[in-house]
Amino acid sequence: MSLAYPSVVGKRSFGRKVLNTVEAYVRIDLVEERMFPATSIMRYIAAVFPVLLYYFQGSFLAISGEMFVVMVVGTAVVAGLQDALLALTSRLNFAMERGTLETYLVEPVPWALIPVAMNVWRSCTGALLACFMVAAGWLLGAPIQGSGVPGALLVLFLGIIACNALGTFAAAFIVLFKRGEPVVMLFSLATAVLGGALFPINVLPEGIRWASYLIPHTYVISAVRQLLIEDVPPDGLSVGVSVGVLAAFAVVSFAAGLFVFDRALRLARRLGILSI
């Protein structure tokens, strides 16, 4: 029986290995969701509070409804992309603390599949969280264009892929140095200021505005706003340009991120950091 298992695994096609790996990690996430349902519920309850904050702030300061929906959409996109960006690093930290990282790596699948499979569920829940926040804003009177929802979901999907790619670079840092917080924290701070979540990027000084075009959040927020909001403040980016840049960014950064992650694991193995 023990001799038959490796032969069966070895005969699986690459597509079957990808499907089985993704299925296994999604199953792990579903088990954790069932074990701690209160955590998941509180995430969605907490997501309503920023929407309420902008709503009451807008009422107090007599801000127009257009500005309210601009802030809600920007914040929702950032919340959705944040899960894709942070999920892999938090999962790896948890695995290293429990001593289970090596058990993931001994599975007969390419190591480059691990960050992809680990982030599938959290990427989906992040997208759902963003939709939940936009829906909450719509219920409070935010003028959302229903015809732009399919296109906005496509743009959000491209942004999630790009953030997954960036997460693999932080994951490689964690594998080698056991700490990934500096990388993630620096990028999160940059997106908070440069991504244009609460204001169009054209209000930034020209000396730092160029840095906004280096992060995917800028293009996702700009395109989603133009698709969902009728009278959106101009920011100099069209939907077509944003989608094109996001697609190129996702492909290039994902390939580079997976390559770096695989090399980081191999280097960690040679250095004795990993006990495999």
pLDDT at 132: 92
Please report the pLDDT score of residue 153 as a whole number. 92
Cβ contacts of 132 within 8 Å, gap of 6 or more: 44, 47
**In the structure encoding, which two tokens stand for residue 95, read together?**
């695995």
User: How far, rounded to the nearest angstrom, does the alpha carbon of residue 213 sit from its chain's CA centroid?
Assistant: 18
Alpha carbons 75 and 32: distance in angstroms, whole number: 27
Give domain limits for the chain.
14-270
Query: Which residues, other chains included, contact 48 with Cβ-Cβ below 8 Å and sequence gap of 6+?
Result: 133, 136
Digit-by-digit pLDDT tens for the chain (276 residues) are: 344 445 455 566 766 777 877 787 888 888 877 887 787 788 888 888 888 888 888 777 766 667 888 888 989 998 888 888 877 777 777 777 776 677 777 766 677 777 777 888 888 888 899 999 999 999 988 888 888 889 999 999 999 988 888 888 888 887 777 765 666 777 777 787 888 888 888 888 888 888 888 888 889 998 999 899 887 777 778 888 889 999 998 888 888 888 888 888 888 778 777 666
- Minimal CA–CA distance to 217: which of 108, 121, 93, 85? 85
Q: CB neighbours of 199 closer than 8 A, spacing ≥ 6?
A: 70
Predicted pLDDT of residue 2: 40
- Of the candidates 67, 71, 64, which has an alpha carbon nearest to the alpha carbon of residue 50? 71
- CA-CA distances (angstroms) from residue 49 to 110, 225, 229, 249? 41, 20, 21, 32
The Cβ of residue 86 has, within 10 Å, a number of other Cβ atoms equal to 20
DSSP the chain: -TTHHHHHHHTS-HHHHHHHHHHHHHHHHHHHHHH-HHHHHHHHHHHHHHHHHHHHHHHHTT--HHHHHHHHHHHHHHHHHHHHHHHHHHHHHHHHHHT-HHHHHTSSS-TTHHHHHHTHHHHHHHHHHHHHHHHHHHHTT----GGGHHHHHHHHHHHHHHHHHHHHHHHHHHHHHS--HHHHHHHHHHHHHHS-SSS-GGGS-HHHHHHHTTSHHHHHHHHHHHHH-SSPPP-S--HHHHHHHHHHHHHHHHHHHHHHHHHHHHHHHHHTSS--
